[in-house]
Structure 1
Amino acid sequence: MAFVVAALWRAKKGQEQTIQRVIEIMTPLSRQEPACVYYQAQLSTNDPQLFFLYEQYVNEAGYEAHMATPHFEQYVKG
């Protein structure tokens, strides 16, 4: 069964561009992962600090593999 992540990510005041850049880096790298079915991030139209991420993986193990990638470690956990 597919594993879906739907998350809100709120940037700290003044860090909006940093988060935007992390998303720009993470999106193509995440989409190349074998277990990634769909990966999309959107910026709120009402709140420049709020980002919505929707991710779908073939299964939970695929998501766990995503969280163990070097790019996740560097840019998300960083």
Structure 2
Amino acid sequence: MSLSQPFALVGTARPKPERAEELKQLLLSFVEPTRQEAGCLEYHFHEDRNDPGAFVFYEAWRSQADLDAHLALPHMQAFWEQRMDYLESDLDIRFLTMHSPYAARKERGTRAR
């Protein structure tokens, strides 16, 4: 895969019951700043309807380099180092190859067609 090819990932976080609300708020705090990053195409945070307390995030990035820049940010590095304080088991992250890439956007905030 080319470093400039759009790609996505989906991850699941299973928090310790006593830290679930705290983790939820922390993960929610990442949404808007991440969406403002230049290479972010999509960034969504969910809770599994059939498994309450299981948090699922979906991210689509313009390139691997953009994701790498995101993961290198201080708040993401801090989360990575402290994640097991919140989690029952480590994050389940699946890196996806995007076979239906986004069409070019005319301006930031315009949905892909």
TM-score by length of 1: 0.88
Larger radius of gyration: 2
Matched, 1:68 2:72: yes
Structure 2: gaps (5+ residues): 83-113
Q: Which position in structure 1 is the counterpart of 2:47?
A: 43
- What secondary structure sits across from 1:72 in the alignment? helix
Counterpart code for 1:4 = A
Kept after mapping to 1: 8 A contact 2:28/2:45: no
Kept after mapping to 2: 8 A contact 1:16/1:48: no
Structure 1: gaps (5+ residues): none
Kept after mapping to 2: 8 A contact 1:29/1:71: no
User: 4+ runs of 1 displaced by more than 6 Å?
Assistant: none
Q: Which position in structure 2 is the counterpart of 1:27?
A: 31
Counterpart code for 1:61 = A
Kept after mapping to 2: 8 A contact 1:3/1:63: no
- What secondary structure sits across from 1:15 in the alignment? helix
Number of aligned residues: 77
